[in-house]
Structure 1
Amino acid sequence: MLGEFLTATLTLLFGYAYPAFECFKMVEKRPGRVEQLRFWCQYWIIVAMVLVFESLLSWLPMYGEIKLAFFVYLWYPKTKGSDLVYDTFLKPFVMQYEPNIEQRLGNLRAKSGQILVFYIRNFTDKGTTFFLQVLNQVVSPTPSREPIRYEVKLILSMFFR
């Protein structure tokens, strides 16, 4: 358990915090260095892809340690891992499927409003029903619930004076 905590902490520090700070410095303090900005953009694209596929890979033994080592490999200046991984694997793969990805994202954007409205309605309908059922159970006149009923009435009277 302690090993997992340590690995998770180190991954947060060296996989996310340090690269995010370096990227921030690149954007804010050195705007003319396009190659460094490209390097950090490649890094974040690869990190995003790792996070997308993480649920498929997280069952592997020592996955956290492998992920930490991979993230350090990506940003470590001597290895320039993000250049290699991006140019060799990620860029050719995404370029091959880019039109299909764009089409699917366009469809998803077009339907996102409808999906959002559906989930909001579903949540509010079920949430209201659930709340009323719980409230009905709490306020119902049974001898064992008498103290609870009094507390609920007191709380409701505070809100609805």
Structure 2
Amino acid sequence: MLGSFINRVLVLLLGYAYPAFECFKTVEKNKVRIEELRFWCQYWILMAFLIVFEWSGEAFISWFPMYGEMKIAMLVYLWYPKTKGTGYVYDTLLRPFMARHETEVDRKIQEIKARIWDFIWKYCQHFADMGQGKFFEMLQYVANQSLKFKQANQVNSGSSNDSPRRRTRPVQN
């Protein structure tokens, strides 16, 4: 349990916090070199793919012995100044894979966007229809309550013994 917690903290610090700080320093330099920006962009692209891969396949890979330690070593390998594994992994694995499947990935993304948009549109229409129905139900309820209140006041004012009596003058003939 404690080992898992320590691994998570180390991944957070060595995989996200430190690289984010280094990336920040690179971006905020007065004279930024394009190679440095390219390196950090490649790092974050790899991190995004690793996160997606890990999230979708965690049940299959997390049980490997020393998985957490291997993950930490991989993250350090990616950004460590002497190894700068980001360039190697990006150029030998990710770029060729994405070049082969880029049009397929773009098509899938467009399909997913269209499905999401359709879902959101249908949900908004359903919500508007339901909201309109509930709004009219609420108006009907308020009208009924108002009518009941008015009727109750009329009944109470007409038959109440506490109400002041009108004095009528005798009719003179």
Look up the equivalent residue of 1:2 and give its one-letter code. L
Corresponding position of 1:37: 37
TM-score normalised by L of structure 2: 0.64
Corresponding position of 1:137: none
TM-score normalised by L of structure 1: 0.69
Write the deviation string for residues 100-158 of structure 1: whole angstroms up to 9, x where unpaired.
11111112222222223556769xx9xxxxxxxxxxxxxxxxxxxxxxxxxxxxxxxxx
| 2:72 is equivalent to residue 76 of structure 1 | no
What percentage of aligned pairs have identical amino acids?
53
Q: Which runs of 5+ in 2 are unaligned?
A: 131-173
What displacement does 1:24 show? 1.4
* Structure label with greater radius of gyration: 2
Larger RCO (CA under 8 A, 6+ residues apart) = 2
Alignment counterpart, residue 67 of structure 1, candidates 58, 67, 71: 71
Alignment of 1:11-160 (within 5 A): 11-30=11-30, 32-55=32-55, 56=57, 57-117=61-121
Q: Secondary structure at the match of 1:12?
A: helix
Q: Secondary structure at the match of 1:61?
A: coil
- CA gap of 1:27–1:92, structure 2 versus 1, over 3 A, is same
Worse-matched range after superposition: 51-60 or 70-79: 51-60
CA distance in 2, matches of 1:32, 1:15: 23
What displacement does 1:58 show? 2.3
The list of structure 1 runs, each at least 4 consecutive aligned residues, that deviate by more than 3 angstroms after superposition, is 116-122
- CA gap of 1:99–1:3, structure 2 versus 1, over 3 A, is same
In terms of fraction of residues, the more helix-rich structure is 1
Q: Which runs of 5+ in 1 are unaligned?
A: 126-161
What displacement does 1:21 show? 1.0
- CA gap of 1:23–1:69, structure 2 versus 1, over 3 A, is same
Look up the equivalent residue of 1:85 and give its one-letter code. V
- CA gap of 1:117–1:59, structure 2 versus 1, over 3 A, is farther
Corresponding position of 1:10: 10
Look up the equivalent residue of 2:74 and give its one-letter code. F
Look up the equivalent residue of 2:15 and give its one-letter code. G
